[in-house]
């Protein structure tokens, strides 16, 4: 299939430039004015006035996640549609085995669960214990092209790792050429606070936040960085929420340690005031780490500008209010997770570019697509507008005035944490592998998502 996108405003060397993009067989074949192309031989889109971005790469989503409250409210089909409507064309989800299960077997099961995706996808693999076979299983996953491994320092009663097991995982991943991604919260300290509040009869969602103060995150970040340095393991810290954590990350980066940081839209645009109120109004905002202060919001924006934070992932994991109500009388039972898979681009444009002097389209492209693609080994196939890249593109209309945040949901969750937020602009059109799949927010065509395998981590460059 041939397509010509004329008058495309793309980001080149930090500047917006107008050019043409020629697509052939799902790939970007030429970028630049091409008067020799006959318009009668290909479909043509005039992108005049639109900003053309690479399709988004969301490095952190949880679809079809099994929890004590039931499966999360998005499976791979509904979640990928929401992502696509919001301009994201690639996601990285997670493989979480049960205790005693091989990482390789759990990976195969998860791959089978994801076949309904209508965008491309890959996986981080989560060791939840250290067994005599774990090192070999890590090696096998990497040989198959799944080179990132998620570890949890929280949730010690289920999937969390103690320090000795965490270090062994880091050693094995580093030796095999992968990267560790880490959920950094001090699990034992949090569990003590959670149980203490409950014994005192303090059971509302507010105490979810109070039981996870910033130091429980920052202390875990510091420990993870120390262990990764000792193991010579590249480290990617997920969903950073606090200014205190950023200090440790910045220090490690200045010491030339391979440490990367991700934050999420909710930590940029929402704050701890959301936990004040009745259960039905506050339970929706229960996620881990919890929302922080406005000063933390600002510190995170500044860290993005300073390139201390490299990516924005959504940590998308929605639940219905009915599911959240499992913890109506005990905040410890509220399933952790919020939606966002389809909102990332709108929020970054509206709350970043439109409101801040230190955030521009170059930075948006980097955190939205390019940096996660580089860190996790799918660049320049993804995350780039370059000759040879997949023709995954977002034509973003910046002329749409302020309005309610467009609803990208295609599932049944009723706990959208962004429902009161106004945004500007909209993904006018989304191309996936060179075909128009979204037009004015509506999915008009569906392709089958592909499972992406990835290369080894390059310690010399900090990317693959």
pLDDT, tens digit, for every residue of 124-178?
999 999 999 999 999 999 999 999 999 999 999 999 999 999 999 999 999 999 9
Walking along the chain (464 residues) 10 residues at a time, the average pLDDT comes out as 92 85 96 71 92 98 95 97 97 97 98 98 98 98 98 96 98 98 98 98 98 98 98 98 98 98 98 98 98 98 98 97 97 97 97 96 97 97 97 97 88 89 96 97 96 84 48
As a CATH number, domain 2-53+384-443 is 2.30.40.10
Query: What pLDDT sits at residue 464?
Result: 38
Q: Residues near 286 by Cβ (< 8 Å), separated by ≥ 6?
A: 205, 208, 324, 327, 331, 334, 335, 336, 337, 338
- In the chain, CATH 3.20.20.140 covers 55-375
Query: What pLDDT sits at residue 462?
Result: 55
Q: pLDDT tens digit string along 246-287?
A: 999 999 999 999 999 999 999 999 999 999 999 999 999 999
As a CATH number, domain 55-375 is 3.20.20.140
Candidates 349, 316, 319, 317; CA nearest to 423 is 349
Q: How far is residue 60's CA from residue 335's CA, in Å, rounded to a whole number?
A: 17
Query: What pLDDT sits at residue 136?
Result: 98
* pTM strictly above 0.85: yes
| SS3 category, 346 | helix
What tokens were used for 286? 């229960």
- In the chain, CATH 2.30.40.10 covers 2-53+384-443
Query: What pLDDT sits at residue 36?
Result: 65
């Amino acid at each position: 299939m041939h397509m010509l996108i004329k008058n495309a405003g793309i980001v080149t060397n930090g500047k917006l430039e107008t050019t043409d993009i020629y697509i052939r067989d799902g790939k970007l074949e030429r970028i630049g004015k091409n008067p020799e192309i006959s318009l009668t031989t290909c479909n043509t889109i005039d992108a005049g006035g639109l900003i053309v971005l690479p399709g988004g790469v969301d490095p952190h989503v949880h679809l079809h996640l099994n929890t004590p409250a039931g499966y999360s409210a998005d499976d791979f089909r509904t979640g990928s549609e929401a992502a696509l409507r919001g301009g994201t064309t690639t996601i990285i989800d997670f493989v979480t085995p049960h205790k005693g299960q091989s990482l390789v077997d759990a990976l195969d099961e998860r791959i089978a669960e994801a076949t309904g995706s209508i965008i491309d996808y890959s996986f981080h693999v989560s060791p939840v214990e250290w067994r005599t076979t774990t090192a070999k299983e890590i090696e096998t996953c990497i040989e198959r092209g799944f080179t990132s491994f998620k570890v949890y320092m929280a949730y010690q009663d289920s999937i969390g790792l103690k320090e000795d097991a965490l270090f062994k995982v880091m050693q094995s991943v580093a030796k095999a050429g992968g990267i560790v991604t880490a959920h950094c919260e001090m699990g034992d300290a949090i569990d003590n606070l959670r149980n203490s509040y409950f014994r005192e009869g303090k059971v509302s969602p507010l105490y979810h936040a109070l039981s996870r103060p910033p130091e429980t995150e920052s202390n875990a970040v510091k420990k993870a960085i120390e262990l990764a340095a000792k193991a010579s393991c590249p480290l990617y810290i997920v969903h950073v929420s606090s200014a205190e954590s950023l200090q440790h990350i910045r220090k490690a980066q200045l010491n030339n340690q391979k440490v990367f940081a991700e934050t999420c839209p909710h930590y940029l645009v929402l704050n701890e005031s959301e936990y004040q109120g009745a259960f039905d109004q506050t339970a929706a905002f229960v996620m881990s780490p919890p929302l922080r202060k406005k000063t933390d919001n600002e510190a995170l924006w500044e860290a993005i500008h300073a390139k201390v934070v490299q990516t924005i992932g959504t940590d998308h994991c929605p639940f219905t209010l009915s599911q959240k109500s499992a913890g109506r009388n005990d905040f410890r039972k509220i399933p952790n997770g919020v939606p966002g898979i389809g909102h990332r681009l709108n929020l970054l444009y509206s709350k970043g570019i439109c409101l801040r002097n230190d955030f521009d389209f170059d930075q948006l492209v980097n955190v939205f697509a390019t940096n996660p693609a580089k860190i996790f080994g799918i660049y320049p196939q993804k995350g780039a507008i370059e000759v040879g890249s997949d023709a995954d593109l977002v034509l973003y209309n910046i002329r749409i005035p302020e309005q309610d945040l467009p609803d990208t949901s295609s599932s049944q969750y009723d706990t959208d944490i962004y429902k009161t937020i106004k945004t500007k602009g909209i993904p006018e059109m989304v191309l996936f592998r060179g075909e128009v799949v979204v037009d004015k927010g509506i999915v008009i065509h569906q392709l089958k998502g592909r499972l992406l395998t990835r290369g080894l981590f390059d310690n010399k460059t900090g990317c693959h």
